[in-house]
């Protein structure tokens, strides 16, 4: 009894993995009729960008991916079948893909389950296969706010096949694929204006130390900065308008000038903290708004120092030239705000260039 049990267990151990292992891996094995490496054409259409969250570093987008390759094992007689192409959609496409080979292209930076994930498949009589997948999901993407609010973001969508190394599958983006690839002319997120779509191919090493290929589709979008005038520039100008009261108001019209100026400095600091909390990285050294706020501190202090010096009884040459402080104030009230405004405008124009 024991030998029979031993031989039964041995046969089951050897035969079952072969049968079931071959059955489970059938969908991942490249058919022998396809010459290696398999040339997979890739085209990407960014249909919409519904949300860009700077604080989280993610973008919600609708992506349509078109993959094209040739599989000789799928050839059929168009005369016998009465059509030169067989189309499969939704459930039919999913069932067909389970019974045939595909390059298994995935989006590497997708961070959540797709809200919409549909596929359609076309198989031609000569073995050409076209698969179109539409995906609505959230994607992790780097956000660079050094030029905020005049920044241009590069939303990167990396495509790769983790199952097949470059010896087995390579990606091709030719002129036809670029013509098929588009970026939507208008976006749901009205804070952004669509620009153009770029492609780049790169190589990386996977889990098995083999080289793999990656296609980066980059959607370039620019921030619609006029929408930030009320949110950013109006409060900024309102705080700095204190300098006009300091330099232009008649003596005695404004009571505590140093107190008002220091209050404006605190309001400017609070404004910068608000911007940084809402848009992390916007207060970096190279950011235009950060530079203008930093310059605003010096501008307010300079306006206060100019007022104190011109009104001081120890102003140089006051005794010999009693009208000199008033004449100096006439020039200062134009020159100081003029220089500050010129620098701010030049900073904005440089960021827009």
Residue 159 has pLDDT above 50, yes or no: yes
- 71 and 210 share a domain? yes
Regarding beta strands 106-107 and 152-160, do their DSSP bridges make them parallel or antiparallel, or are they unpaired? Answer: antiparallel
**In-domain check, residue 52:** yes
- 293 and 215 share a domain? no
Give the tens place of pLDDT for each residue, 268-324.
999 888 888 877 767 765 788 888 998 999 999 988 888 877 776 665 656 556 666
Examine the fold and report which residue of 192, 207, 223 is the final residue of a domain before the chain moves on: 223
What pLDDT, on a 0 to 100 scale, did the predictor assign at position 45? Answer: 96
- Count how many domains the chain has: 2
- 133 and 237 share a domain? no
Estimate to the nearest angstrom the gap between the alpha carbon of 43 and the chain centroid.
19
Burial of residue 81 (number of CB atoms within 10 Å: 0-12, 13-18, 19+)? exposed
CA-to-CA distance for 303 and 273, rounded, in angstroms? Answer: 23
What's the mean per-residue pLDDT of the chain? 84
CA-to-CA distance for 300 and 306, rounded, in angstroms? Answer: 10
Residue 156 has pLDDT above 70, yes or no: yes
**In-domain check, residue 340:** yes
Question: Higher confidence at residue 327 or residue 223?
Answer: 223
Tell me the residue range of the domain where 275 lies: 228-352
Burial of residue 145 (number of CB atoms within 10 Å: 0-12, 13-18, 19+)? buried
| Among 139-148, 166-175, 197-206, 211-220, the least confident range | 139-148
Give the tens place of pLDDT for each residue, 162-180.
889 999 999 999 999 999 9
Question: Higher confidence at residue 218 or residue 330?
Answer: 218
What pLDDT, on a 0 to 100 scale, did the predictor assign at position 134? Answer: 95
> Contact, 157 vs 4, CB < 8 A?
no
Backbone angles phi, psi at 316, to 5 degrees: -55, 140
pTM: 0.76
**In-domain check, residue 16:** no
- Once rounded to an integer, what is the mean pLDDT over residues 128-152? 91
- 246 and 219 share a domain? no
CATH of the domain at 240: 1.20.58.390
Give the tens place of pLDDT for each residue, 55-102.
788 999 999 999 999 999 999 998 898 889 999 998 899 899 899 999
Within the chain, where are the H helices?
A: 2-25, 78-81, 91-98, 175-180, 234-240, 242-248, 257-278, 288-311, 324-352
Residue 119 has pLDDT above 80, yes or no: yes
CATH of the domain at 213: 2.70.170.10
- 200 and 177 share a domain? yes
Examine the fold and report which residue of 196, 223, 250 is the final residue of a domain before the chain moves on: 223
Examine the fold and report which residue of 202, 223, 244 is the final residue of a domain before the chain moves on: 223
């Amino acid at each position: 009894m024991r030998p029979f049990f031993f031989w039964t267990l041995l046969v089951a151990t050897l035969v079952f993995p072969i049968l079931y292992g071959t059955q489970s891996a059938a969908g991942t094995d490249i058919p022998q009729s396809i010459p290696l490496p398999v040339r997979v054409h890739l085209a990407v259409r960014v249909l919409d960008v519904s949300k860009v969250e700077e604080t989280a570093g993610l973008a919600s987008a609708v992506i349509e991916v078109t993959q094209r390759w040739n599989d000789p094992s799928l050839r059929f007689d168009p005369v016998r079948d009465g059509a030169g192409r067989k189309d499969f959609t939704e459930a039919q496409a999913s069932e067909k893909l389970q019974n045939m080979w595909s390059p298994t292209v995935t989006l590497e930076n997708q961070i959540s389950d797709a809200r919409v994930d549909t596929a359609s498949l076309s198989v031609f009589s000569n073995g050409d296969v076209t698969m179109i997948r539409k995906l609505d999901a959230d994607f992790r993407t780097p956000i660079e706010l050094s030029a905020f609010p005049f920044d241009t973001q590069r939303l990167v969508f990396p495509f790769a096949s983790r199952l097949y190394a470059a010896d087995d599958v390579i990606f091709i983006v030719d002129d036809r694929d670029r013509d098929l690839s588009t970026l939507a002319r208008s976006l749901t997120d009205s804070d952004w204006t669509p620009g153009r779509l770029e492609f780049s191919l790169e190589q990386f090493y996977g889990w098995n130390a083999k080289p793999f290929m990656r296609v980066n589709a980059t959607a370039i979008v620019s921030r619609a900065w006029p929408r930030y005038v009320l949110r950013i520039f109006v409060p900024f100008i309102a705080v700095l308008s204190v300098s006009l009261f300091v330099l232009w108001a008649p003596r005695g019209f404004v009571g505590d000038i140093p107190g008002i100026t220091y209050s404006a400095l605190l309001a400017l600091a609070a404004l910068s903290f608000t911007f940084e909390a809402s848009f992390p990285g916007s207060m970096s050294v190279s950011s235009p708004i950060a530079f203008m706020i930093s310059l605003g501190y010096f501008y307010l202090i300079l306006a206060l120092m100019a007022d104190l010096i011109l009104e001081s009884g120890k102003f140089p040459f006051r005794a010999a030239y009693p009208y000199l402080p008033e004449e100096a104030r006439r020039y200062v009230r134009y020159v100081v705000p003029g220089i500050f405004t010129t620098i701010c405008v030049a900073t904005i124009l440089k960021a827009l260039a």
